[in-house]
Amino acid sequence: MPRSVMLLEGRSIVITGAGSGIGRALAVALATRGARVILVGRRAAALAETAMQLPVGVRSLTVVADITTAAGRAMIVESCRNDGLDILINNAGIVASGLLSDLGDAELQRLVATNVAAPIALIRDLLPLLRLSDRPRVVNIGSVFGDIGHPYFAAYCASKFALRGLSDALRRELATDGIGVTYAAPRATRTAAADGFSDLVAPFAMVLDEPAAVAARIVTGIENEADTIYPRGPERLFVWLQRLLPGVVDRALAAKGRKVRRLLEARPTA
């Protein structure tokens, strides 16, 4: 017998990267359903702006913290002690694009620290609180680039492949504890991060979704306790082709990549 839809009203939900983009849209969508949202991010002003967009009367908490540090994660854990924690949404992330040869060590380290190491550590640190909840869940926000290795996003793809692997492994590991794990894989979204690869959108025929539409799909997936959440459209087809006929995807993206190479080589380096 299928389980009933999870009611989000009154549930305590941590959202990292809540100061903008998908994180902000998730906060608004979840608060609209009556959830208590804990907004986490590095910029106090951005979190305050998100908090102002929440429905009047909804309980929320702002935590200014860097999730890549032990001290920052400890602040998040402490903020959850009084009211508990039902759902952790690992949304914070950064995008690196362009030729791999142009990425410096500092940028690579920041990417891995934010997109991979921090979510792993935060889940670990919050597990004791999640185990006390009824129907707890971890939601990792990945990308379709966590399934499809895309040229000129190699390092970013690697980080999202890692997050997808983490989600699959933890889903099996935490099943005994009754903790669900959802991996959400949006396609490109119209956020500030997308500005960094704006010159690649047209050549690769990328479609950019609005954050509110992405958040709505993710919230529905959470309510249905879905293991995975993928967008509708050609990207979903490419995900299946990648799994069944990877050579087809290799040839298609390599052909496009060759056309884009000259454009990228003309990019100014940081």
Residue length, the chain?
A: 270
**Regarding predicted confidence, which is higher, 86 or 206?**
86
User: The tokens of 125 are what?
Assistant: 């640190």
Q: What residues have CB less than 8 Å from 127, skipping those under 6 apart?
A: 174, 177, 179
Residue type, 193: A
User: The tokens of 195 are what?
Assistant: 């500005």
pTM score, whole prediction: 0.89
pLDDT in tens, 156-211: 999 999 999 999 999 999 999 999 999 999 988 888 887 777 777 777 777 788 99
Note whether residue 6 is domain-resident. Answer: no
Q: How confident is the model at residue 1 (pLDDT cuts 50, 70, 90)?
A: very low
According to the model, what pLDDT value does residue 149 have? Answer: 87
**Could you give the 3-state DSSP secondary structure of residue 185?**
coil
pLDDT in tens, 15-68: 999 999 999 999 999 999 999 999 999 999 999 999 999 999 899 999 999 999
Longest dimension (CA), the chain: 58
**Regarding predicted confidence, which is higher, 151 or 16?**
16
Is 230 a known active-site residue? no
Mean pLDDT of 225-237: 85
Note whether residue 4 is domain-resident. Answer: no
pLDDT in tens, 88-136: 999 999 999 888 999 999 999 999 999 999 999 999 999 999 999 999 9
Note whether residue 196 is domain-resident. Answer: yes
CATH no. for residue 115? 3.40.50.720
Burial class (CB in 10 A: 0-12, 13-18, 19+), 231: buried
**Could you give the 3-state DSSP secondary structure of residue 217?**
helix
Q: How far apart are CA 265 and CA 15, in angstroms?
A: 37
Q: How far apart are CA 170 and CA 134, in angstroms?
A: 18
Note whether residue 58 is domain-resident. Answer: yes
Q: How far apart are CA 19 and CA 51, in angstroms?
A: 9
* Count of domains forming the chain: 1
pLDDT over 80 at 76, yes or no? yes
Given 152, 156, 183, 230, the catalytic residue: 156
Provide DSSP, 48-87. Answer: HHHHHTSPTT--EEEEE--TTSHHHHHHHHHHHTTT--SE
Q: Do 183 and 167 contact (CB within 8 A), yes or no?
A: yes
According to the model, what pLDDT value does residue 258 have? Answer: 73
Note whether residue 110 is domain-resident. Answer: yes
According to the model, what pLDDT value does residue 193 have? Answer: 80
Note whether residue 270 is domain-resident. Answer: no
Note whether residue 252 is domain-resident. Answer: yes
Note whether residue 207 is domain-resident. Answer: yes
Q: Which domain holds residue 76?
A: 12-265
**Regarding predicted confidence, which is higher, 199 or 231?**
231
**Regarding predicted confidence, which is higher, 255 or 96?**
96
CA-based end-to-end distance of the chain: 56
Other CB atoms closer than 10 Å to residue 222's CB: what's the count? 26
